[in-house]
Amino acid sequence: MQRDFLLQLAAEMAYAPLWSSGTIGELDDVLGRIDESRGIEDRPEWRARLLATMQKAFPGAQIEAPREREYGYDIADPGDGHVVHAALMGKADALVTGDKEAKFEKSKVLAEANVEVISVADFAANTVAAHIDAGVRAVREMCGRLEHPPMTELELLDLLAERYGMTQVRELLAPSFAE
């Protein structure tokens, strides 16, 4: 849901997404592990379709930065060098992350490039605050796709707040869906 909400905000033109080719590989791995933890049979075709849809929906979002490559950036987890590389090469304003281990916020190279390191919840709140109409459209669009189970806009906002700490997003958008 978190990924879908952020991508839907991008589809509503609230921001331009950017990711590394290594991030796409990591996302594929994470989605496979989530399915496994939920007892769902491996769905490589579904994951490939999702990742291809992301690429098609946001042409130019991907920066070639494989995770296997050594980058030498000043972060605690050198395996996340591809993330820093993509932010720098893509001239990103922000690096949106929930990764605490890499210590992106302590990176001098990111600071020198004026790349703000921000949590997912704070990024979502800032984006929605700046683009309320896009946030409303994003929630409506997501609810229109949800079938198993269907959700109202307020239920979706509650889920985003409870599961992902997007309480500010809920506070900003809930009045638009009050009955």
Contact (CB, 8 A) for 25 and 67: yes
Tokens encoding 179: 């009955």
- By DSSP bridging, strand 94-96 and strand 62-63 are unpaired
Per-residue confidence (pLDDT) for residue 148, from 0 to 100: 84
Amino acid at 129: A
- Residue 127: pLDDT over 70: yes
Q: How far, CA to CA in Å, does 28 sit from each of 34, 44, 78? A: 10, 8, 20
- Percentage of residues in the chain having pLDDT higher than 70: 99
Domain extents in the chain? 15-119, 124-177
Report pTM. Answer: 0.91
How far, CA to CA in Å, does 31 sit from each of 42, 94, 150? 10, 24, 22
Please identify, in words, the CATH class of the domain defined by 15-119.
alpha beta
The per-residue pLDDT for range 71-94, each reduced to its tens digit, is 999 999 999 999 999 999 999 999
Tens-digit pLDDT profile for residues 25-53: 999 999 999 889 989 888 889 999 999 99
Provide the mean pLDDT of the chain: 94
Q: Are the C-beta atoms of residues 164 and 125 closer than 8 Å to each other?
A: no
